[in-house]
Chains A and B, each alone.
Chain A
Amino acid sequence: MPTQSINDFVVRFANVNGSGSASANQMFARAVLRMGVPVATRNIFPSNIQGLPTWYEVRVSGDGWLGARGGTDLMVAMNPQTWDKDVAAIDPGGYLFYDSSRPIPASKFRADITVIGVPLTEICNREYKEPRQRQLFKNIVCVGALIALLDIDVSIVESLIGEQFRGKENLISANHKALHIGSDWARANLTCPIGLRVVRSDAVGDRIFVDGNTASALGAIYGGATVCAWYPITPSTSLAEAFTSYCKRLRSDPATKKHRFAIVQAEDELASIGIVVGAGWNGARAFTATSGPGISLMQEFLGLAYFAEIPAVLFDVQRGGPSTGMPTRTQQSDILACAWASHGDTKQILVFPRDPGEAFDFAATAFDLADRLQTPVFVMLDLDIGMNHSLTAPFTWDDARQLDRGKVMTHDDLAAGRDFGRYLDVDGDGIAWRTYPGTHPTRGAYFARGTTRDPYARYTEDGAVYVANMQRLLRKFETAKSYVPGPIVQQAARSTRTGVIHYGSTAAAMDEAIVLLREAGIDLDVLRVRAFPFSDDIVDFILGHDRVFVVEQNRDAQLRTLLIAENAIDPQKVVPVLHYDGTPITARFIAQSIGALVADSHDVREEHLLS
């Protein structure tokens, strides 16, 4: 029985990298959005420019679930290399869409799926003379056939094409033509629609569709970042590139066209973070965007910035580690490398946005935090948030908001005779005052260094002075708790002794998993961690439950380790739930894992009672 579903299915495009399919695929996703139906899209791509397999997953979800679901209801199989695997991946009852220009042996199909053949190559060869046009328009012809099959309004796609090629009438009419070739052929030759259909809804609202790297770059602009130093590395590259293109539009002096921003593509990650530290020392808001290998290379500088107390913002778009690992797959496996970055005793500030919307907010806030706390701040993204478009609340900005530059002594402060000790804790919060170079002719100068120094920044190796400084850094970290984003707690409808903790990109799948678990009779209180240092509320949440699952996308339960180490939590109480194969975590995985763990513990309890 073919699957019947309205506004709730997964379409997966199997393509060859570099074939120009990406923009057509995204057009398909946007068309569903314009029908008022939420989609969650994920690009699964290799570390390659051309020729290797790539997949684009569009989850159509009228209920608005934005996590990866797993499974495939409609496979658009355009890559002969992966045919067997792609056909095998279709859920029973699902649909296979393929290019039927060349005959494929019957043994290559399955009996329990519906096969839809469209002779795309043949149609394009007939309609177009140039080889390049044949390839490019094949993608659009394909979209045309799909929208007919899924009952998507063709005029919506026409207007998307019009917006995409605004001002280029030739391209608009050519793409419109290709679109109609596809949809007309499908309507004339196939049963339209199939069991999977998109029906107009109003579940999208005013949300925007954007990737987390772009959102972070915009957040950096709104947060007042002026210096960006970076080294290309997947999956963070598009963050620096988005910053570059938005800066040109938003940060060029209208009269002179001169730039209110400086972007340096450095020779490596060491130089990137060095430039950021130098700029931060000199009072500019500076950041770098990188991924795990870059974080490894930056360790020495991160210790310097921690110890010399220099503001810096790092966007870590995490990928599969260790080493080169899985450069184009997602993980949350840099938590400890960032939290305890560098040799010696360090504690760094981390924030964990859940999606592009929060990435924008946290990016802007990170610069305030870095200046206020005079230390590096890590915005912990991952490939799933960073590189995939996601539906998210529109970006907002309060025009009354001012950038918080933190404790900076001015020329007038110094001239008035205020006592200046660069590492002197005058306010009791562990945060000392700083000066920018060049402020005053005779006062306020100091020597920034990675060596031990006294409160007046004078070199010393006196143990007591060293200890006092290290203790002050702990006080400062304590102060940070009141500045970083606090956790979000969601109580279960019925009182429960079991909780679950998660963070970052897991949130989308967790929202859905909680509903699945509730339907299965398992109630959980949920806490989403949004920053390190951990607020006391997080500790209270753990202490207030008998058992707390900690769901993460890494092998070693890194956040759990940090929770245990930093708060003397009983390890028995916090149970790891780990997903780390490089694909985004799914609601199905979370619900099944927690469901099994809960069932096991019931069995254990029952056995205990019987014995």
Chain B
Amino acid sequence: MTYLAKPKFHHPEIRTNALGLTHRDYEGAISTLCAGCGHDSISSAIMLACFELDLPPHRIAKVSGIGCSSKTPTYFLGSAHGFNSVHGRMPSVLTGASLANRELIYFGVSGDGDSASIGFGQFAHSIRRGVNMVYLVANNGVYGLTKGQFSATADKGATLKKGAVNSDSAIDLVAMAIQLGATFVGRTFSGDKNQLVPLIKAAIEHKGPAFIDCISPCVAFNNHEGSTKSFDYVREHNEAVNALDFITARAPITVDYQPGEVQVVTLHDGSSIRLRKIGSDYDVHDRIGALAHLMRREEAGEIVTGLIYLQNYPTDLHENLNLVDTPLNELPDSELCPGSSALERINSNLR
């Protein structure tokens, strides 16, 4: 029933953004996920991020694979095109779409089964290829649609509802993404809107492969005691490396911070991320340090969240392929077809 239209009541004083749109213009169909599903919070955060960034919704392309997570693009940005592809293959479809038209924003939504199991290869290769995208994994550690089997991100020793214990090692997609060359890597929690929304905003503005692992508890199959992906467990073990505010290039800087308390990272388009430091000195540009930190905290049973790694001036696939500025899907026939005289020359070289 994903096509149910939402009622369109407008509060007379509803907030509008620079495009004159309200947050309702960023909504999609009514969610058919379970009540309380973490994924719905992610959808809300995406809508809010796009609204606050003043993005025209139709200039975003939503691409997903198969699974609960991959259903979510129906539930946000209803006036954007979406593509619910095949299981584990969102990255390749998104890559092709991105090659066809470099001007749209590509938002890939995947899950832990979709990206860490069946699509592990495509996850890896799309990132190492430098596709300009937001790649968000709604990570709950289980297969929801098939009723609760472990996924490859389930922690070793975690238990299922009926008591089965996971004996396989967990895949940490964040560590993988850093190793594979993602230039923006964050982890967050669907229950922490204050961290989730600015992280999505910054990822959208980032030019290059931006990966977000969003732990998103499955209320139906993985929110019990013994789960390491439950709301309670994640809240108790959440170890944020920073708190971030995303500031667009257009916004005036109004908030003052104490020196040493904040790191301002300016992005390619002039926008900036302000990272408020929490606890230890954490350098978001230190790739090796990030990996070491992840592994140390994991040993201690903690879940590292926040903006974990950022490369300031990345190159992306479009640059690597030296593509023309005009989207390939807009090139006129005259710029595609070399014509009969060129063909004559080719013929004469083949005699």
A interface, CB within 8 angstroms of B: 33, 206-210, 218, 221-224, 226-227, 229, 250-251, 253, 256-264, 266-268, 270-284, 286, 300-301, 304, 394-399, 401-403, 435-442, 445-451, 458-460
Q: Which residues of B are found within 8 Å of A397, using beta-carbon distances?
A: 337, 339-340, 343
Q: Which residues of B are found within 8 Å of A394, using beta-carbon distances?
A: 347
Residue of A nearest to B88 (CB): A270
Q: Which residues of A are found within 8 Å of B328, using beta-carbon distances?
A: 226-227, 260-262, 279, 284
Q: Which of B61, B85, B96 contacts A450 (CB 8 A)?
A: B85
Distance in angstroms between the alpha carbons of A226 and B95 in the assembled complex: 14
Q: Flag the segment in B99-107, B281-289, B299-307 that touches A.
A: B99-107
Q: Verify B58–A438 contact, CB threshold 8 A.
A: yes
Q: Verify A256–B96 contact, CB threshold 8 A.
A: no
Q: Which residues of B are found within 8 Å of A281, using beta-carbon distances?
A: 83, 93, 96-97, 100
Q: Verify B78–A276 contact, CB threshold 8 A.
A: no
Distance in angstroms between the alpha carbons of A440 and B336 in the assembled complex: 25
Asked if B73 is an interface residue, CB under 8 A from chain A, the answer is yes
Asked if B351 is an interface residue, CB under 8 A from chain A, the answer is yes
Known contacts A262-B323, A397-B343, A447-B74: A275-B58 contact under CB 8 Å: no
Which of B91, B96, B351 has the most C-beta atoms of chain A within 10 angstroms of its own C-beta?
Answer: B96
B23 to A: closest C-beta gap in Å: 16
Residue of B nearest to A221 (CB): B338
Tally A-B pairs: CB < 8 A: 225
Q: Which residues of B are found within 8 Å of A272, using beta-carbon distances?
A: 92
Q: Verify A275–B323 contact, CB threshold 8 A.
A: no
Q: Flag the segment in B8-16, B121-129, B272-280 that touches A.
A: B121-129
Known contacts A227-B96, A451-B84, A458-B3: A438-B61 contact under CB 8 Å: yes
Q: Verify A278–B93 contact, CB threshold 8 A.
A: yes
Tell me the B67-96 residues at the A interface (CB within 8 Å). 73-74, 78-86, 89, 91-96
Q: Which residues of B are found within 8 Å of A229, using beta-carbon distances?
A: 92, 96
Known contacts A208-B347, A442-B58: A270-B81 contact under CB 8 Å: no
Known contacts A286-B100, A447-B73, A448-B84: A278-B342 contact under CB 8 Å: no
Distance in angstroms between the alpha carbons of A106 and B78 in the assembled complex: 84
Distance in angstroms between the alpha carbons of A223 and B73 in the assembled complex: 34
Q: Verify B101–A224 contact, CB threshold 8 A.
A: no
Which of A226, A301, A439, A451 has the most C-beta atoms of chain B within 10 angstroms of its own C-beta?
Answer: A226
Distance in angstroms between the alpha carbons of A274 and B347 in the assembled complex: 34
Tell me the B11-55 residues at the A interface (CB within 8 Å). none
Q: Verify A283–B93 contact, CB threshold 8 A.
A: no
Residue of B nearest to A257 (CB): B322
Q: Which of B1, B84, B97, B331 contacts A449 (CB 8 A)?
A: B84
Q: Verify A270–B122 contact, CB threshold 8 A.
A: yes
B70 to A: closest C-beta gap in Å: 10
Q: Verify A447–B333 contact, CB threshold 8 A.
A: no
Known contacts A438-B104, A447-B74: A278-B63 contact under CB 8 Å: yes
Q: Which residues of A are found within 8 Å of B253, using beta-carbon distances?
A: none
Q: Verify B336–A403 contact, CB threshold 8 A.
A: yes
Q: Verify B95–A440 contact, CB threshold 8 A.
A: no
Q: Which residues of B are found within 8 Å of A440, using beta-carbon distances?
A: 58
Q: Verify A226–B338 contact, CB threshold 8 A.
A: no
Q: Verify A279–B100 contact, CB threshold 8 A.
A: yes
Q: Mark B107-151, 1 if CB is under 8 A from A, else 0.
A: 000000000000001101100010000000000000000000000
Sample of 9 A–B contacts (CB below 8 Å): A218-B343, A267-B124, A274-B91, A284-B99, A284-B328, A397-B343, A402-B333, A403-B333, A447-B73
Q: Verify B342–A259 contact, CB threshold 8 A.
A: no
B66 to A: closest C-beta gap in Å: 8
Residue of B nearest to A300 (CB): B86
Q: Which residues of A are found within 8 Å of B89, using beta-carbon distances?
A: 270-271, 274, 301
Q: Which residues of B are found within 8 Å of A224, using beta-carbon distances?
A: 333, 336-337
Q: Verify B93–A445 contact, CB threshold 8 A.
A: no
Q: Which of B61, B83, B343 contacts A222 (CB 8 A)?
A: B343
Q: Which residues of B are found within 8 Å of A227, using beta-carbon distances?
A: 96, 99-100, 328
Q: Verify B104–A218 contact, CB threshold 8 A.
A: no
Asked if B269 is an interface residue, CB under 8 A from chain A, the answer is no
Tell me the B305-351 residues at the A interface (CB within 8 Å). 321-325, 328-329, 331, 333, 335-340, 342-343, 346-347, 350-351
Q: Which residues of B are found within 8 Å of A401, using beta-carbon distances?
A: 337
Q: Verify B338–A250 contact, CB threshold 8 A.
A: yes
If A221-B336, A395-B346, A447-B74 are given as contacts, then 5 extra A-B residue pairs at C-beta distance below 8 Å, sorted by A number, are A222-B338, A224-B337, A271-B89, A447-B81, A448-B83
Q: Verify B342–A250 contact, CB threshold 8 A.
A: yes
Q: Mark B288-303, 1 if CB is under 8 A from A, else 0.
A: 0000000000000000
Q: Which residues of A are found within 8 Å of B86, using beta-carbon distances?
A: 274, 300-301, 304, 450
Q: Verify A445–B79 contact, CB threshold 8 A.
A: yes
Q: Verify A438–B59 contact, CB threshold 8 A.
A: yes
Q: Verify B3–A459 contact, CB threshold 8 A.
A: yes
Q: Which of B94, B333, B351 contacts A278 (CB 8 A)?
A: B94
Residue of A nearest to B104 (CB): A438
Known contacts A262-B321, A442-B79: A274-B96 contact under CB 8 Å: yes
Known contacts A274-B92, A278-B83, A446-B81: A260-B350 contact under CB 8 Å: no
Residue of B nearest to A268 (CB): B121
Distance in angstroms between the alpha carbons of A437 and B1 in the assembled complex: 23
Which of A33, A274, A301, A441 has the most C-beta atoms of chain B within 10 angstroms of its own C-beta?
Answer: A274
Q: Verify B95–A274 contact, CB threshold 8 A.
A: yes
A32 to B: closest C-beta gap in Å: 13
List the 3 closest pairs (A to B, CB-CB), nearest first: A274-B92, A278-B96, A284-B100
Q: Which of A223, A263, A277, A399 contacts B340 (CB 8 A)?
A: A399
Q: Verify B121–A267 contact, CB threshold 8 A.
A: yes
Q: Verify A437–B97 contact, CB threshold 8 A.
A: yes
Known contacts A284-B329, A440-B58: A226-B336 contact under CB 8 Å: yes
Q: Which of B96, B325, B331, B335 contacts A279 (CB 8 A)?
A: B96
Residue of A nearest to B329 (CB): A283
Q: Verify B101–A282 contact, CB threshold 8 A.
A: yes
Q: Verify B100–A278 contact, CB threshold 8 A.
A: yes
Q: Verify B122–A262 contact, CB threshold 8 A.
A: no
Q: Verify B122–A264 contact, CB threshold 8 A.
A: no
Asked if B169 is an interface residue, CB under 8 A from chain A, the answer is no
Q: Which residues of A are found within 8 Å of B59, using beta-carbon distances?
A: 438
Q: Which of A33, A218, A258, A271 contacts B322 (CB 8 A)?
A: A258
Q: Which residues of B are found within 8 Å of A267, using beta-carbon distances?
A: 121-122, 124-125
Residue of A nearest to B122 (CB): A271
Distance in angstroms between the alpha carbons of A223 and B1 in the assembled complex: 41
Asked if B56 is an interface residue, CB under 8 A from chain A, the answer is yes
Distance in angstroms between the alpha carbons of A264 and B98 in the assembled complex: 12
Q: Which of A266, A283, A458 contacts B100 (CB 8 A)?
A: A283
Asked if B2 is an interface residue, CB under 8 A from chain A, the answer is yes
Residue of A nearest to B21 (CB): A441
Q: Verify B350–A208 contact, CB threshold 8 A.
A: yes
Known contacts A226-B336, A250-B342, A441-B79: A266-B125 contact under CB 8 Å: yes
Residue of A nearest to B74 (CB): A447
B82 to A: closest C-beta gap in Å: 4
Known contacts A209-B351, A441-B56, A447-B84: A271-B339 contact under CB 8 Å: no
Q: Which of A278, A395, A403, A445 contacts B58 (CB 8 A)?
A: A445
Q: Mark B176-219, 1 if CB is under 8 A from A, else 0.
A: 00000000000000000000000000000000000000000000
Known contacts A258-B325, A259-B323: A278-B79 contact under CB 8 Å: no
